[in-house]
Structure 1
Amino acid sequence: MDMDGDWPLPRPRTPFRIDRRRSAAALARKTSIASTFSSLAMPVVIEVVQRTKALATEVDPEAFHQLRVAFRKLRALYWAYSPWLGEEATAQASDEFKRLAAVAGGTRDWDIAGDLLRTAQKSDASIELLVSAAREKRAQAVAHSQALINSDTVEAFLNDAVLRAQTTLQSCCNDLPISTFAKKRVRMAQRTLRKRSRRAVRSEAGHEDNLHDVRKAGKKLRYLLEFFQPVIKGDHERTLKELTSVQKMLGEFNDIAASETLIRNTTFDAVPADVVEKSLQWLERKKCQRIEVASQRVKAISG
């Protein structure tokens, strides 16, 4: 969706006040649904703004990765509050978060592909040609991200989006406590993860897509637990550790699968077709190895 066409992004006339000392840890179980939204959203917004400002000169792959993660966290938070924010407002904000994450992620994708190709090069020196080409594609992705992610525009959009959400929530649930609501949304995210895990275990055709769906559902649950842990009962450290472990294995598989798709869909004018094919065959072998490990971990959490 083109958010510039559907949702203008002016700076809010009333500046959103940010209390930098307030964090999720300060949440109380009797705090209202409305007030918790800003206290959870604004630290992430501040991080995004700081990282987008640094993009003008930043080429560190981790910086691009963390920016993409921050946008994903905002998508998860908007999903959590969507029953009160409304479907249209949630979709508008989430689509823009997704677009910005994809722009930031282009550099990270080429970093991952480059690392994998350097490993493949150890077994076939000719792949060095593709490693060099991937390095050039990475530089192009950096320039693309820097051109499309304007810090002033992003800051204006985020302030406006949070202000709109806060206004909506204050008008409909300013006196409703967060604890019951948070537990309900976390349970829903847990059910989604379990459902997708079971589907992945049962499936054969489209297994890669199903594993990717499990990975996305796991991320959402992890982010919600991190957001709402102060206001929901129980010790969720074990769940978070398990999710982190599963996500690591699914991430390793996804890195290979995504790199294979990236290389297959990219034109390399200066690289012979047989060199590209060798790299794809290497990635396919690694993917087959990883899919078994990832599938076993998913099976373990599907129950």
Structure 2
Amino acid sequence: MKGASRKIDKRASDSKPSGAESSAETAFVSYASPLVDEAIEHANAVREDASPETLHKLRVSLRRLRSLWWAFEPLLDKGENTRQRALFKYLATAAGKTRDWDILIELIAQHERVAREMTPMLEEARGGALATSRETLSNADVKHLLQDALTSASKELNTAHERVPLQAFVDRRVAASERSLKKRIKRASHAKRSDYTAFHEVRKAGKKVRYLLEFFEPVLSGSHKRVLKRLKQIQKRFGTLNDIVASEMLLRDNLGLLAGSGDTGAALDWLRKERKRRMRAAAGLLRKL
């Protein structure tokens, strides 16, 4: 897989526009095609490789696709764009259901006594989730869905009567994503500490900005170093918070399935304390941004 990933990265870098002189419409496929190939490759790998890393790569590749389609939203049919982004989210969620169990298992491992009692049942539940994820992805026919999405969007853009300069377009879209992030940071900084949704919105907005900067950095005007520094801080602190919150919810939602597997009460109590601690840390970071 590592060798394949390097091939994907090289293919992506080779195919991206080398400058800002091209139009956004003609440049789209050079951004989208490598991402589609990458997602298909990871989806195929999930059939054989059930490791947490493989599932994580698939989910990330689908999130990146969703962000790219958001970036080109002003140039695409609104209804079709919304449908395609919903499709990417659906596929990412299918992969994510198993990944969520992986994260819970990793966290519970930090609580040695609880892990010793609960891990066998958690692993069994993870196996069930993996079977469901594989079935969903197989039935969805990821390869053809993603190729059709690429073909449809490319055709629409290639037949557009007007052409938008690439640099001007990506500057506007990155600026829009950065404004959205700032709004969510401001909203979360004034929210109650128990309002996780506000914190989660900051994390999602931060991911979108980071993906767009990764896509378009070679042709963007101006420096985005300050934003990138902020994004790294958000990703690290808010990511660990999200892992705790998602794991706590997953455990609560499956108490019946895990009955008799160990001290679930102790596990929930530990997760609750971790959630509060990490919420304080996230709130502290917001005050500094």
Q: After TM superposition, is the score higher than 0.5?
A: yes
Between 69-78 and 292-301, the greater mean CA deviation after superposition: 292-301
Aligned to 2:214: 226
Aligned to 2:49: 58
Aligned to 1:6: none
2:255 maps to 1:264: no
Deviations 1:67-126 (A, max 9, x none): 101111111111111111122011110111000000111121111100111112x2xx24
Deviations 1:254-286 (A, max 9, x none): 100110001001144453498212111110001
Between 43-52 and 267-276, the greater mean CA deviation after superposition: 267-276
* Partner SS, residue 110 of structure 2: helix
- In the alignment, is the contact (CA less than 8 A) between 1:27 and 1:36 conserved in 2? no
Q: How far apart, in 2, do the equivalents of 1:205 and 1:238 lie?
A: 26
Q: How far apart, in 1, do the equivalents of 2:253 and 2:76 lie?
A: 38
- In the alignment, is the contact (CA less than 8 A) between 2:36 and 2:146 conserved in 1? yes
- In the alignment, is the contact (CA less than 8 A) between 1:32 and 1:173 conserved in 2? no
* Partner SS, residue 156 of structure 1: helix
The letter for the 1-side match of 2:33 is M
Deviation of 1:152 after TM superposition, in Å, equals 8.4
Aligned partner (choices 273, 283, 287) of residue 275 of structure 2? 287
Assess, with a 3 A threshold, how the Cα gap between structure 1 residues 116 and 170 changes in structure 2: closer, same or farther.
Answer: same
Aligned partner (choices 86, 89, 95) of residue 95 of structure 1? 86
Assess, with a 3 A threshold, how the Cα gap between structure 1 residues 51 and 173 changes in structure 2: closer, same or farther.
Answer: farther
The letter for the 2-side match of 1:291 is M
Aligned to 2:155: 167
Q: How far apart, in 2, do the equivalents of 1:292 and 1:228 lie?
A: 34
Superposition map of 1:1-303 within 5 A: 20=11, 23=14, 25-120=16-111, 122=112, 125-150=113-138, 153-172=141-160, 175-204=163-192, 207-269=195-257, 271-272=259-260, 275-301=263-289
Q: How far apart, in 2, do the equivalents of 1:225 and 1:129 lie?
A: 44
Q: How far apart, in 1, do the equivalents of 2:262 and 2:148 lie?
A: 50
Deviation of 1:24 after TM superposition, in Å, equals 6.1
Assess, with a 3 A threshold, how the Cα gap between structure 1 residues 174 and 35 changes in structure 2: closer, same or farther.
Answer: farther
Gaps of 5+ in 2: 1-9
- In the alignment, is the contact (CA less than 8 A) between 2:12 and 2:31 conserved in 1? no
Aligned to 1:12: none
- In the alignment, is the contact (CA less than 8 A) between 2:114 and 2:263 conserved in 1? yes
Between 281-290 and 205-214, the greater mean CA deviation after superposition: 205-214
Aligned residue-pair number: 280
Q: How far apart, in 2, do the equivalents of 1:238 and 1:270 lie?
A: 45
Deviation of 1:27 after TM superposition, in Å, equals 3.4
Q: CA RMSD in A?
A: 2.1
Between 102-111 and 130-139, the greater mean CA deviation after superposition: 130-139
* Partner SS, residue 234 of structure 1: coil
Structure 2 length as normaliser, TM-score?
0.90
Q: How far apart, in 2, do the equivalents of 1:84 and 1:23 lie?
A: 24
The letter for the 2-side match of 1:261 is M
Between 23-32 and 58-67, the greater mean CA deviation after superposition: 23-32
Between 137-146 and 192-201, the greater mean CA deviation after superposition: 137-146
